[in-house]
Amino acid sequence: MQLIKGLILFFVIFVLPVGIQLLCFTESVFIFNPLIDTKLPPGFTPQKFDSIKPGMSKSEVSQILPEPTYSSDDGGSWHYGEDGAAPFGDFAWFDFIIRFDVQGKVTKTERQTLHD
């Protein structure tokens, strides 16, 4: 019985706090809600992002998605997402990117996981 009490005490004092630290403050992806630390513009959803296909024009994309969080100086990429949405901890966040060619047509979409 003493051994079980000792193991429970060890778990509560050492293992649990270390686990919480590693889960919440190491910029890891939060498995229960991967987007927990990603600020997205109102009206943006991953499902809408997934509907963007190569060859679409910027105006077609604008009909589906809201204004990007920011875009590259040359307009060749639109970015959706920024860090800092989690109410607790510091987790990885996602940048949803749409890349365009010089004619303003989608060449590809990508998601980047950022651990900063």
- Report d(CA 81, CA 65) in Å as an integer: 12
**Least reliable range by pLDDT among 4-18, 44-58, 69-83:** 4-18
17: confidence class by pLDDT, cuts 50, 70, 90:
low
Percent of the chain scored above 90 by pLDDT?
A: 57
Instruction: Note down the domain range covering 108.
Output: 2-114
For the domain that residue 6 is a member of, what is the CATH number?
3.30.1450.10
pTM: 0.77
pLDDT digits (tens, 9 = 90+) for 31-49: 888 998 999 999 999 999 9
Mean local confidence (pLDDT), 69-76: 92
Beta bridge partners of 94: 113
Domain total in the chain: 1
